[in-house]
Amino acid sequence: MTPEEGKSVGRRLIYTLATMAATAVGAGASAAGLLRHQAGSLRRSFDDDKNRRFSTFTEAIAAPRDHDDGDSAALAIMGDSWLCGVDVDPEQAPPTLIGRGLARMLGTTVRVQTTARPSALSDDLHRQVDEVLRSPWLSRQLSDQWSEDRRFAIISIGTGDIIHPIQATIGVPVLNQAINRLQREGRYTVFVLVCPNLGGLPGLRDPLKTSLRRTSRVLAGSQWLAALAARAVPLRSTGSLSGTTRRSLLNDSGRFPSELGYAQLSSTLLSAIAERIEAPVIVDRSLDIPEKGETARRHELVPGAETQSAAESASSADPQPADAQAPVQAAPRGQDSATQDDSAHQVPSPSEARS
């Protein structure tokens, strides 16, 4: 190879490398620009959620019939849109659903207060905890014989910390401090709904989808460990939203749960509470059978129908004189059956379970 040919090859090699480097830089700049554009659009939508309708109330959910033992339980809900109930009827929001289930589980009145707000950040958690601890509605003095088994606090936070980028280590100490204050000052049993996998939200595309998935998983793991270290009960939001298509469990915007999603999250939290307090649960599935369900409804519409039906079935099964059947008394059997059907829907109180 002549010197001129060598110089020509060298120039072509340098030109090729420069072209590749420029292409890589251009692709990187394009990806970074796309990521900034996607993140900015998501951030603006997240900020707009503050103006959406959400549930904020302080209510007492009555105990089931014939189950109020004179005491009451307390339920405090804090955090962001994953618990406050955005764009749903208050009756279908998590505070109401969880309070109603807790009242049936404990057999007592439940005093509920929520301070959760859409688009809340970890910096807002301190104010929410202050509001809960200073609330006269959730005060221990309102219970005749209060117990930590009847005081529950639920926290969901972290989504805003990812969409508004801050260092994840800032949010975790705030969560840890909130748990400690609720336990020490309020005597609450604390449950933490860790940050969901935001990369799985519908409508997202790369590179934002991959970035959110990695960041939310890191924050969720940190929150999980922080909750365990503080003796709280951590729960996975993403695991709760399963069992059907993800789209039906999220709002049309994809940034928070739908009515069905809120119901599923509430069910997950109630299951965790029941497991923590070892609450016995009796479920009557007889009404799942159409024939039995129709018979039960006819009995409810016609007073005394069960007694008459039981007496007729007993007389047809054992054709004896009426006075010979008097000691057997078939009617009370039907009456007992009705009593069992009613009691199957009732959850025994913790004192009855212990006895």
Q: What is the DSSP letter of 347?
A: P
What is the tens place of the pLDDT at every residue in 154-191? Answer: 999 998 888 886 544 568 999 999 999 999 999 999 99
pLDDT attached to residue 10: 57
- Among 5-14, 180-189, 284-293, the range scoring the smallest mean pLDDT is 284-293
Q: What is the DSSP letter of 152?
A: E
pLDDT attached to residue 329: 41
Q: Which two tokens stand for residue 156?
A: 């969901």
User: Predicted confidence band at 48 (pLDDT cuts at 50, 70, 90)?
Assistant: confident
- pTM comes to 0.69
Q: Is 173 exposed, middle or buried (0-12, 13-18, 19+ CB in 10 A)?
A: exposed
Q: Report d(CA 72, CA 74) in Å as an integer.
A: 7
Instruction: At 345, give phi and psi (nearest 5°).
Output: -90, -5
Q: Is 334 exposed, middle or buried (0-12, 13-18, 19+ CB in 10 A)?
A: buried
Taken in order 227, 230, 232, 233, the sign of the CA dihedral is positive
User: Predicted confidence band at 9 (pLDDT cuts at 50, 70, 90)?
Assistant: low
Q: Which two tokens stand for residue 143?
A: 């219970």
Grouping H, G, I as helix, E, B as strand and the rest as coil, residue 85 is coil
Q: Which two tokens stand for residue 117?
A: 């707000």
Q: Which residue has the higher pLDDT, 91 or 51?
A: 91
Q: Report d(CA 117, CA 82) in Å as an integer.
A: 9
What is the tens place of the pLDDT at every residue in 85-119? Answer: 888 998 999 999 999 999 888 888 899 999 999 98
What stretches of 106-150 adopt beta strand conformation (E)? 109-114
> What are the structural domain ranges in the chain?
50-277, 286-354
CATH of domain 50-277: 3.40.50.1110
Nearest alpha carbon to residue 163 among 257, 45, 32, 81: 45
Q: Report d(CA 208, CA 350) in Å as an integer.
A: 48
Q: Which residue has the higher pLDDT, 4 or 250?
A: 250
Q: Report d(CA 42, CA 216) in Å as an integer.
A: 15
What is the tens place of the pLDDT at every residue in 57-69? Answer: 678 888 776 665 5
Packing angle of the helix pair 305-317, 330-344 (nearest 10 deg): 130
Instruction: Answer yes or no: is pLDDT of 310 > 50.
Output: no
pLDDT attached to residue 2: 66
In 10 A of CB 100, how many CB atoms? 18
Percent of the chain with pLDDT over 90: 31
Instruction: Answer yes or no: is pLDDT of 75 > 90.
Output: yes
pLDDT attached to residue 263: 92
Question: CB of 185 within 8 A of CB of 138?
Answer: no
The string of DSSP letters for 174-202 reads: HHHHHHHHHHHHH-PEEEEEEPP-GGGST
Instruction: Answer yes or no: is pLDDT of 227 > 90.
Output: yes
Q: Report d(CA 63, CA 113) in Å as an integer.
A: 16
User: Predicted confidence band at 221 (pLDDT cuts at 50, 70, 90)?
Assistant: very high
